[in-house]
């Protein structure tokens, strides 16, 4: 169990665990209020054709029968479409799986507020090759979640392991969100594109040029969209040696993630954040932005 001890003692993972109450309070109140829930679903593409900004999705999926798609670190946003129609009108079934390390918490929130949406499956992007038991994926999607993970580069490498060769990892993120959020909650890393169009992952202690780390196994195309979002499409070109069949099993990882919820510290933090989000999520979008600017100014 040396590996298990290593994860238990991993400072980045421990720090990530401390952000769970903040994240749960946010989603609980997005789902609580009819206005915020409807607002989220109004921009969600759930129930519609899949469309990923900055990526030619048809070229990837048109020749695949029943392609497997993993939406990793999905939260409760259901942001991406779950249907696919080719340009010549042919509809194809997509085998979509919504995966998140907080799946057990999120499914409780979804049921509590009686929202009729698919269940979330458990999985951590940093260990997804250990927990994913399905077929190799044609497409993996990580939107606004890579920078919330405990180890983003490890997450990319793990996701590449579950992709088939020729499959793609699609990333779409706010630029430098940890800086904007003052490193609160899960916001511990920034993602941006530098002057040479390189995808960079960084925080106050490290700076990673992604293309240099994945060159033996994948190619990458990165860009900043007109709306300011950072998008990268990483295409798997070769298999990655998997040194261990299963580094951690799902039950062990779940136990680590659920254990803090039994502590008084967790319960008090969640109660405080939940109270704040109760009022914040009841505000209009415009007033939320005014409040956010006021907090940032201070």
Helices (H), the chain: 2-8, 11-17, 20-32, 34-43, 57-61, 103-112, 128-131, 152-162, 177-180, 210-214, 250-258, 264-280, 285-297
Mean pLDDT across 70-90: 91
Pairing of strands 218-224, 207-209: unpaired
How far is the C-alpha of 33 from the C-alpha of 282, rounded, in Å?
Answer: 7
- 1: pLDDT strictly greater than 50: no
pTM: 0.88
- Give the long-range contacts of residues 250-253, CB within 8 A, separation 24 or more: 250/122, 250/123, 250/130, 250/131, 252/4, 253/101, 253/122, 253/124, 253/127, 253/130, 253/131
Rg of the chain over CA atoms, in angstroms? 19
How far is the C-alpha of 18 from the C-alpha of 148, rounded, in Å?
Answer: 12
Confidence of residue 289 (pLDDT cuts 50, 70, 90): low
Q: Are 202 and 210 in contact (CB under 8 A)?
A: no
Confidence of residue 152 (pLDDT cuts 50, 70, 90): very high
Q: What is the pLDDT of residue 292?
A: 59
Q: What is the pLDDT of residue 8?
A: 60
CA 65, 138, 96: angle at the middle one, nearest 5? 75
- 200: pLDDT strictly greater than 50: yes
- 255: pLDDT strictly greater than 70: yes
Average pLDDT, the chain: 88
How far is the C-alpha of 265 from the C-alpha of 261, rounded, in Å?
Answer: 9
Higher pLDDT, 156 or 64: 156
- 7: pLDDT strictly greater than 70: no
Q: What is the pLDDT of residue 2?
A: 40
How far is the C-alpha of 15 from the C-alpha of 163, rounded, in Å?
Answer: 28
Q: Are 266 and 274 in contact (CB under 8 A)?
A: no
Q: What is the pLDDT of residue 293?
A: 58
CB-based burial of residue 186 (10 Å sphere; 0-12 exposed, 13-18 middle, 19+ buried)?
Answer: buried
Confidence of residue 125 (pLDDT cuts 50, 70, 90): very high
Angle between helices 103-112 and 250-258 (to 10 degrees): 60
How far is the C-alpha of 34 from the C-alpha of 40, rounded, in Å?
Answer: 10
Mean pLDDT across 67-95: 91
How far is the C-alpha of 123 from the C-alpha of 103, rounded, in Å?
Answer: 8
């Amino acid at each position: 169990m040396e590996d298990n001890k290593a994860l238990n003692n991993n400072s980045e993972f421990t720090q990530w665990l401390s952000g769970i109450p903040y994240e749960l309070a946010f989603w609980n109140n997005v789902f609580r209020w009819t206005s915020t829930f409807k607002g989220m679903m109004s921009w969600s593409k759930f129930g519609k054709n899949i469309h990923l900004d900055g990526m030619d999705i048809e070229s990837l999926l048109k020749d695949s029968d029943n392609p497997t798609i993993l939406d990793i670190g999905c939260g409760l946003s259901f942001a991406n479409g779950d249907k696919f129609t080719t340009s010549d009108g042919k509809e194809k079934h997509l085998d979509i799986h919504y995966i998140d390390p907080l799946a057990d918490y999120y499914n409780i929130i979804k049921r509590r507020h009686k929202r009729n949406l698919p269940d979330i499956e458990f999985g951590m992007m940093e260990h997804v090759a250990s927990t994913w038991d399905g077929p190799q994926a044609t497409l993996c999607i990580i939107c606004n979640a890579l920078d919330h993970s405990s180890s983003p580069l490890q997450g990319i490498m793990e996701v590449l392991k579950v992709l088939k060769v020729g499959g793609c990892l699609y990333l779409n993120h706010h630029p430098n969100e940890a800086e904007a959020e003052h490193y609160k909650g899960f916001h511990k890393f920034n993602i941006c594109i530098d002057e040479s169009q390189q995808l960079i992952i960084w925080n106050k202690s490290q700076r990673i040029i992604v293309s240099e780390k994945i060159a033996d196994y994948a190619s990458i195309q990165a860009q900043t969209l007109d709306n300011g979002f950072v998008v990268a499409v990483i295409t798997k070109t070769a298999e990655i040696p998997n040194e261990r069949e299963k580094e951690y099993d799902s039950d062990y990882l779940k136990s680590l993630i659920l254990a803090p919820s039994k502590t008084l510290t967790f319960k008090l933090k969640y109660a405080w954040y939940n109270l704040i989000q109760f009022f914040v999520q009841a505000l209009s979008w415009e007033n939320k932005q005014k409040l956010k600017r006021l907090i940032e100014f201070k």
